A and B are shown apart, each in its own frame.
Chain A
Amino acid sequence: MSKPESREHSQKHLQLSLRAQPFEIPPLWDALLIGRGAPIGPEAARRMAESLSPGQFELIPLEGEGSVVEACLVRKKLLRLVEAESLVQLLLEECAQMLDEEAVIRVHLDPELQAKRTLRLR
């Protein structure tokens, strides 16, 4: 009967590799679409945003069971530019292909104002 190999002679070893990158603050960008069955719910997302960026995000719950999205968390400064309803509608339409009940989708939104006026010549 052979003796079991002792621990001191084991060939196992641990190898560590690492990857680093700057942590984005806040990590949720400008809007977060939270699916009804997502691992984090609206209240948890709101608290996360509030603790990382106090006062900067607003939670918009979506009523009714029809949509796969339960709520949108949106940067408040965007809501000063457009109506919440229009913004949510836009997000749901444009992200439709990526949305499902379990998903949490973050979205970058870059508002750019365009204006054009005609002034009288001197």
Chain B
Amino acid sequence: MQRRVIDAMTPDPLVVEGEVSVAEAARLMNQHRVGGLPVVTGERLVGLLTSRDVRAAHPNRLVLDAMRKDPLTIPPEASLFEAFERMQEAEVERLLVVRAGKLVGVLTKGALLYSLGASQDPLTGLSRADRLRHTLESYLQGGLDPTLVFADLDSFGSLNKAHGHVAADRALRALGRLLGGFARAHGGEAFRYAGDEFVLLFPRPRGEVLPLLEELRREVGVLKVEGLPPLALSLGVSGGRRGPGRVPENPAATADDLINLASQASTRAKGSPQGWVEAAESSR
């Protein structure tokens, strides 16, 4: 489940009326220790006053004459990654969360980064499944059908039982490092999906990715993890077949389909001679 702005925002934020003085707004900011206040007239959101605006304006001015008139807004249903990208692009510290023209919350950079930290897997350093969904949806929305490789570590349960969880964690960490480096080297990104499952996402056609899989399995086969036997992956491949420019009707549902198809294909790949299976997709 992808985390949304609504999960990290401060609901019912403190606001300031546009008709009060900048001095009064500054007092409010100090009292409540906030670096910015949404400005309203009645129920209507009309701007944002930040501590920087307060410093630049004469304290006698109306807030209406010191605020930014077009503050960046975001709907509560938007993903945290979209919020992060918007903040980075505009170099702002907060977004006003607006639903149907009404202010429902404030998302600060601090709260956003804190929440996004939870999207990073601490064991492998790779991004987690919600980040995968966001990246996948962004590609699909941009008319690109990326190739998704679902990578399932073989016999992980037996590894755990025979060598213990600490050793198995070592395997996951080493595998995460290898997959991350491999994906980056080929223009993609690796994610830890869950447990012993990883995903590699390449913004490239499937035809360009398939030849890489043998190399990947070879690299994994020679990966040395202290006290453990050689590792092996079962791979399932989906996506990367449609020409560019076609945007699916429902990118979120298509993203789910691609993940499911690749996951099922990776299960079928267990014990297969080449170690990978292509998903047969037809109706996307």
Flag whether A37 is at the interface (Cβ < 8 A): yes
Flag whether A40 is at the interface (Cβ < 8 A): yes
Flag whether A39 is at the interface (Cβ < 8 A): yes
The contact size tier of chain B is 10 to 19
Q: B64 to A43, Cβ gap below 8 A?
A: yes
Q: A44 to B64, Cβ gap below 8 A?
A: yes
What is the chain B residue whose CB lies nearest that of A35? B58
Bound CA span A44–B56, Å: 17
Most B C-beta atoms less than 10 A away, residue of A37, A39, A41, A42: A41
Chain A positions 25 through 51: 1 when the CB is less than 8 Å from some CB of chain B, otherwise 0: 000000000000111111110000000
Q: B60 to A39, Cβ gap below 8 A?
A: yes
Q: B58 to A43, Cβ gap below 8 A?
A: no
How many residues of A are in contact with the other chain, CB < 8 A? Answer: 9
Hey, which chain A residues are within 8 Å of B18, CB to CB?
Answer: 43
Minimum CB–CB distance for A122 against chain B, Å:
62
Minimum CB–CB distance for A24 against chain B, Å:
22
Minimum CB–CB distance for A66 against chain B, Å:
16
Minimum CB–CB distance for A67 against chain B, Å:
16
Flag whether B111 is at the interface (Cβ < 8 A): no
Q: B60 to A43, Cβ gap below 8 A?
A: no
Minimum CB–CB distance for B228 against chain A, Å:
63
Hey, which chain A residues are within 8 Å of B60, CB to CB?
Answer: 39-40
Minimum CB–CB distance for A36 against chain B, Å:
9
Hey, which chain B residues are within 8 Å of A102, CB to CB?
Answer: 58
Flag whether B62 is at the interface (Cβ < 8 A): yes
What is the chain B residue whose CB lies nearest that of A70? B65
Chain B positions 131 through 161: 1 when the CB is less than 8 Å from some CB of chain A, otherwise 0: 0000000000000000000000000000000
What is the chain B residue whose CB lies nearest that of A102? B58
Bound CA span A42–B62, Å: 9
Bound CA span A44–B62, Å: 6
What is the chain A residue whose CB lies nearest that of B65? A41
Minimum CB–CB distance for B47 against chain A, Å:
11
**A residues within 8 Å of B by Cβ?**
37-44, 102
**B residues within 8 Å of A by Cβ?**
18, 56-58, 60-62, 64-66
27 residue pairs bridging A and B, Cβ less than 8 Å apart: A37-B56, A37-B57, A37-B58, A38-B61, A39-B58, A39-B60, A39-B61, A40-B58, A40-B60, A40-B62, A40-B65, A41-B57, A41-B58, A41-B61, A41-B62, A41-B64, A41-B65, A41-B66, A42-B65, A43-B18, A43-B62, A43-B64, A43-B65, A44-B61, A44-B62, A44-B64, A102-B58
